[in-house]
Structure 1
Amino acid sequence: MFKRLREEIRCVFERDPAARNTFEVITTYPGFHAILWHRLSHRLWNLGAKWLARVISTLSRWLTGIEIHPGARIGQRFFIDHGMGVVIGETAEIGNDCTLYHGVTLGGTSWRKGKRHPTLGNNVVVGAGAKVLGPVHIGNGARIGSNSVVVKNVPVNTTVIGVPGHMVQSKDQYGKAKHPAITKHIEFDAYGTPQDAPDPIERTIHGLTKHIQRLDERIEQITAEIQHLGGELPKASLPNLKTSELSINNNNEEEQERQVGEDKSAVAK
């Protein structure tokens, strides 16, 4: 019992640089309090004292703002940072060394009894405000980005972002691209989203744009060759892009900068 308690306290220091000492963690960390209450209520739930387990769970929610159903199964060294608004459903299963931030929901998508909540593997990080819904499986080492909505299984060591959640570059790929000395540091990112994670939608649009540009160049080469050989081509041209529409964002930014400059001048006067 005391060994597990020490592990719970130690994992707080490992994942929260704001933690200063053990007394502070024990007395002021709602995530730590919530997991202690859950350990007790879960044991009572398994012993058949379900009403008492629900009472303890409700008391814990009042005191911490974290709602964990007594039936949920949670592994060792589980850490909830900040914690307010976290909801973990009855049939949810969480592996070892997982981290949840505030506003996370491990919820169900059906009113039917049985397995209806997510299963998280080991070393999973779920960012603030993320929703993992249904009996999906989140692989070991996966990361769910802030405010993402996940309704499908997530492979091992994969980062998911967006609504609906879509996968981006895995940590294995990060490890191959970066020096091993810094790979360890990028495995954990605040709020579950790496700063340099590529957006697959942006990457796809960029790829399509480059592909269209190369097609235009190839068509121009073919057209020039046909004309050089004396062939005739229909006189047709592509519609021109309106550069004014493309510069709307730039104009807005310039207007905002101009307004800020005027405000500063007024304050100075």
Structure 2
Amino acid sequence: MLKGLIDYLDSVHRRDPAPRSRWEILLYPGVWALGFHRAAHWLFEAKLYFLARLVNHFGRFLTAIDIHPGARIGKHFFIDHGFTVIGETAEIGDNVTIYQCVTLGGTNPTNGKGGKRHPTIGDNVIIGSGAQVIGPITVGTRARIGANAVVTDDVAEGATMIGMKARSTLVPAEEWIKEFIPYGTPCDEPCEDQVAEGAKRIESLEADLELLKAQIEQLKSAPAPETARRSGTDS
């Protein structure tokens, strides 16, 4: 058990350079929230639902992180900072990293039954701050969800999702195989291509606009057809 805890703390340190020691990591709200969830989930599996909820609410009070006791979470799960909500039927793989203010939320079932309402998150996924991942969708292995993205459809393995509603950007293979890239929102990787393409488009539209303005000015300065005919008659 001690070795498992040390391995977990070391996995957090590999993803967060801020702490100077394992003792600091032990103070992280995400670490405490996961500990409370492990206990609450054990009670939930034993059908001790009230006690599971009691532990859940106590953990939420202390950490500002709300993880439903029914959620299934794999190894080395790390919530950086907090203010996160994870729903009952969410399933989270190994080595998943979530930043602050993320929701793994559910959709309203149309058949009146609970069922699978929350996302399934694959291994090594990174979810950026403020992202909302909604519904019984699957986020593939090594996918990245950018900050403030709203994801309501399945995400392919290795994809980076940005925007509202989130769209995928292509990720080169050499980026896909990296062990960990912080925050899930690349600034000098796939998003740059989108920005550069948008800038080119804006430049093209501005050039077209200048051309149209020049043509309008030429039309304004040209004599009217009736005036030209009168000038020819007078001569």
TM-score of Structure 1 vs Structure 2, range by shorter chain: 0.7 to 0.9
In 2, Cα distance between the equivalents of 1:173 and 1:11?
Answer: 22
Total equivalences in the alignment: 209
The alpha carbon displacement at 1:19 in A equals: 1.0
Query: Relative to 1, partners in 2 of residues 1:195 and 1:206: Cα closer, same or farther, differing over 3 Å?
Result: closer
The alpha carbon displacement at 1:208 in A equals: 6.6
In 2, Cα distance between the equivalents of 1:202 and 1:15?
Answer: 27
In 2, Cα distance between the equivalents of 1:106 and 1:99?
Answer: 13
The alpha carbon displacement at 1:169 in A equals: 1.7
For the aligned residue pairs, the C-alpha RMSD in angstroms reads 2.6
Of the three residues 80, 86, 89, the one matched with 1:88 is 86
The alpha carbon displacement at 1:86 in A equals: 0.2
Decide which moves more: 198-207 or 51-60.
198-207
Q: Please give the secondary structure, in 2, of the residue aligned with 1:190.
A: coil
Amino acid at match of 2:131: A
The alpha carbon displacement at 1:189 in A equals: 3.3
Query: Deviations 1:209-250 (Å, cap 9, x if unpaired)?
Result: 8999xxx9xxxxxxxxxxxxxxxxxxxxx994449xxxxxxx
Q: TM-score, normalised by structure 1?
A: 0.70
Task: Identify, as 1 or 2, the structure richer in helix.
Answer: 1
Q: Is 2:41 aligned against 1:42? A: yes
Task: Determine the structure 1 residue equivalent to 2:183.
Answer: 191
The percent of aligned pairs where both chains have the same amino acid is 46
Query: Relative to 1, partners in 2 of residues 1:137 and 1:241: Cα closer, same or farther, differing over 3 Å?
Result: same
Q: Is 2:124 aligned against 1:127? A: no
- The answer to whether the 8 A contact 1:158-1:171 is kept is no
- The answer to whether the 8 A contact 2:171-2:190 is kept is no
Q: Is 2:78 aligned against 1:79? A: yes
Amino acid at match of 1:33: W
Amino acid at match of 2:147: S
Task: Determine the structure 2 residue equivalent to 1:178.
Answer: none
In 1, Cα distance between the equivalents of 2:134 and 2:116?
Answer: 12
- The answer to whether the 8 A contact 1:73-1:92 is kept is yes
Structure 1 segments unaligned to the other structure (5+ residues): 176-182, 217-237, 244-269
In 2, Cα distance between the equivalents of 1:171 and 1:56?
Answer: 43
Task: Determine the structure 2 residue equivalent to 1:30.
Answer: 29
- The answer to whether the 8 A contact 1:137-1:153 is kept is yes
Task: Determine the structure 1 residue equivalent to 2:166.
Answer: 165
Query: Deviations 1:19-51 (Å, cap 9, x if unpaired)?
Result: 11122221x210110111111110111011111
The alpha carbon displacement at 1:202 in A equals: 5.1
In 1, Cα distance between the equivalents of 2:59 and 2:91?
Answer: 19
Which structure exhibits the higher relative contact order, with contacts defined as CA atoms closer than 8 Å and separated by 6 or more residues? Answer: 2
Query: Deviations 1:168-198 (Å, cap 9, x if unpaired)?
Result: 02242646xxxxxxx73xx633321111244
Task: Determine the structure 2 residue equivalent to 1:14.
Answer: 14
The alpha carbon displacement at 1:7 in A equals: 2.2
Query: Relative to 1, partners in 2 of residues 1:205 and 1:54: Cα closer, same or farther, differing over 3 Å?
Result: same
Amino acid at match of 2:181: D
The alpha carbon displacement at 1:203 in A equals: 6.3
Amino acid at match of 1:42: H
In 2, Cα distance between the equivalents of 1:130 and 1:242?
Answer: 43
Q: Please give the secondary structure, in 1, of the residue aligned with 2:183.
A: helix
Task: Determine the structure 2 residue equivalent to 1:66.
Answer: 65
In 1, Cα distance between the equivalents of 2:131 and 2:39?
Answer: 27
Structure 2 segments unaligned to the other structure (5+ residues): 215-235
- The answer to whether the 8 A contact 2:71-2:88 is kept is yes
- The answer to whether the 8 A contact 1:157-1:171 is kept is no
- The answer to whether the 8 A contact 1:169-1:197 is kept is no
Task: Determine the structure 1 residue equivalent to 2:226.
Answer: none
